[in-house]
Structures are given as C-alpha cells and as structure tokens.
Amino acid sequence: MDTFVLGAQIASGAGALDKLLELSCDRAAVVCDPFMAKSGASHQVTDRLDKIGCTWELFDRVVPDPTVDVVSACVSLFMEVRPTCVVALGGGSAIDTAKAASYIYTRTAKVDRPLFVAVPTTSGTGSEVTSFSVISDPEAGVKYPIVSDELLPDHAILDPELTRTVPPVVTADTGLDVLTHALEAYVATDATDMSDALAEKAAAVVFECLEHVVEHGDDIVARERMHNASCMAGVAFNNAGLGLCHAMAHALGAQVHLPHGRCNALLLPHIIRFNAKDPAVCARYARIAARVGCCCHTDVVAVEGLVRKIEQLMRAVHVAPVIEDEERRALAREKIDVMVANAQKDRCMPTNPVTATPEQIAELYRAIC
C-alpha cells in the first residue's frame, strides 16, 4: 500500500500573504535572518499579526546552513515567549531553523506543538511542505537531516512578490535545487504515480522558466511558476524520498561551505549517469526525459539527452560544472574520505535506487573537484 502525504494547507499567488489575517493565535514567534529584519521584509508578516491582535517576538539570527547553536538560541526564545504560532520567513535556512527549534521546544517544554506557518522567500528548498530540516555542526563538519512528520508545516504561503528581488545567483542555485528534488524523487525507491506527477511538472517548469527568471527577475508570472514548482518538488520528495545526490551534497556543503543548491547542481549530471547504469532506473530517467522534451529511440540516448539538457541549463544560468574556487576545490579533494563516510550515513541515501560503494562515491566527488 502506498501512502501520499500533502500536509500543509497551501496558499499561493499574488496576495497570498494575507492568509496570515485568517490565523487564530495570540502569541507568535517570527523567525528570519538579519537581512529580512533590516530590510523591513519582516514587517509584511508582523504588520499582519498586529492586525489580528497577535503579539509577536522576532528571532532574526538565522544564518545560511543553520547551526546547532543558532537553533539552540531560537529554542531559548521559544521557551521565553511560549508561542502558539511560529512563522518562518525566508529561504530554507529560516524554515529549517524554525522547524528544528519548534520540534525541540515542544519536547523540552512539554507543550502542544505551535501552529507552524512557512513563508518561503526563495524558490528552491520546498521546506514549506516537507518533513525535513537540515542542521549543521560546523565543528564536526557535518550536516544532520532531521526527518519527522512533526516538522511538516500547517500552512505554506507562496507569495511570489517575496521572491521578486532575489539575486540572479541565488535564483539559479535554488532553481537547480528544485530540479534536483524533482529528478531524485522521480527515481527514488518510494516514488508513486502521485509523486511522479508532481516531479514531472516541477522539472518541466524549471526547464521552461529558470533561465528566464535569472535574466528577468521582475517577471512576477515566471517567479510564481518557479515558486509553485519548488513547492511541487517538495511534496514529491517528501513522499518519494531523495537519494545519492542530496546525501553527497550535504556532506560536500558541510566541508566546503557552498550553497546547497549549487552542490546539488554540480553533482546531479554525474549521479544521473551513475544511477542510469541500472536498466530499470535508466528507463525511469528516460520517461521523465521525454516529459521535458528529450525524446529518443533508446533509453540510454534519452538519459544522455537529459544530462546534456541539465548541463546546458547550468551554462545558461552561469553555474560552472566544477567547484570554481581553487581553495574550495583543494579542500574538497583533501576531505573526500570524510565526505564519503558522511554521505553514506546521510538520511537521504536509503531511497537512492542504486547502491553506491565508497569507491564509487569518491569517484563522483572527484568529477567536480
């Protein structure tokens, strides 16, 4: 029997942020990064909370690749405020911080779980509709994916206006993260017809829109499509699972401190070729390749067409096929054994459709550094 989880109630499109006006809560904790607070973007949330008579406290210390220390500080605020609602505003880092903090707070304080509202401001992680949170331990050089149904937000608010000013490089990296989510979910061992449908649509939208959005960030229609694609890919992988690419990307990002979407993009073409050596997996990739316009007479040729289409998109959005910074490349080469060990232990690894040996994982890392 297959089980498919939708979870969050999703409000999308222009004006979606007004969904906050329908909430019933009296104390809120708003979680964001310093830029959201200083730029005034957080006011779009707090002003609406004021209108419904909800008091609030702001936690604005989120950092990229949220750390154990930052999550601990956020938990401390929750213990003080005792929120009945948590609003996470930002990219995956803000949402993951709030998820982990809420999860720990609920257990520590022995209280009911606060209502959780995720308001993504980038189109990439899909964290607003997943049961995942990824937390970093910089001292250990490890990223820890936390997986629990209790991390699933109650509401996801997808307002494309919040993404209009996202810089091109961030748009590119997060958009390629969407593509990775879709393609990994499609071949994951827990994939179903329903997760397939969302993964296919998300991948198609990325190929149609990402290059345009990177070059024309003020196109709100294209921004909305990418925002929706990110959410669809999130629902897909939350049900189907991920795989080798994410497991390796977590380990790579923890060591060389590249954005998560960039790590995925670097690895994705190589991992597709690796997984596609299995004929059944090759046929799966060929099917989604056809959905995005790579129609060929054989599965092998179709998969190679898909890989080339990904590489062409990467060039179009100015993402190099290898780690560009020489210091980071050298560090990655030095840490291959550590990254291999961490990738093997990653929670995303079990749903990869092909088992990879340590030697094969190491070779995949060498391809990008």
CATH of the domain at 248: 1.20.1090.10
Both structure tokens of 41: 């973007």
Both structure tokens of 295: 């129609």
Alpha carbon distances (Å) from 122 to 39, 53, 294 = 16, 28, 28
In the chain, the number of structural domains is 2
- 3-state percent breakdown (helix, strand, coil) of the chain, nearest 5: 60, 10, 30
Instruction: Please state, in angstroms and rounded to a whole number, the distance separating the CA atoms of residues 41 and 28.
Output: 17
pLDDT of residue 6: 82
DSSP label at residue 256: H
In a domain, 232, yes or no: yes
Instruction: Please state, in angstroms and rounded to a whole number, the distance separating the CA atoms of residues 56 and 50.
Output: 8
Q: Encode pLDDT of 217-234 as tens digits.
A: 999 999 999 999 999 999
Instruction: Please state, in angstroms and rounded to a whole number, the distance separating the CA atoms of residues 259 and 51.
Output: 36
Both structure tokens of 162: 């919040």
In a domain, 220, yes or no: yes
Assess whether 184 and 117 both reside in one domain: no
Assess whether 203 and 293 both reside in one domain: yes
State the pTM of this model: 0.95
Q: Which residues of 70-87 are buried (b: 16+ CB within 10 A; e: fewer)?
A: bbeebbebbeebebbbbb
Query: Torsions phi, psi of 30, nearest 5?
Result: -105, 125
In a domain, 285, yes or no: yes
Cα 300 to the center of its chain, rounded Å = 29
Assess whether 321 and 234 both reside in one domain: yes
Q: Which domain holds residue 120?
A: 9-163
- Domain end, chosen from 105, 134, 163, is at 163
In a domain, 2, yes or no: no
Assess whether 45 and 181 both reside in one domain: no
Ranges in the chain, pLDDT < 70: none
For CA atoms 123, 128, 130, 132, give the dihedral sign. Answer: positive
Both structure tokens of 111: 């209280």
Give yes or no for a contact between 250 and 198, defined as CB atoms under 8 angstroms apart: no
pLDDT of residue 297: 85
Other Cβ atoms closer than 10 A to 258: 22
HEC string for 153-216: CCEEEECHHHHCCCCHHHHHHHHHHHHHHHHHHHHCCCCCHHHHHHHHHHHHHHHHHHHHHHHC
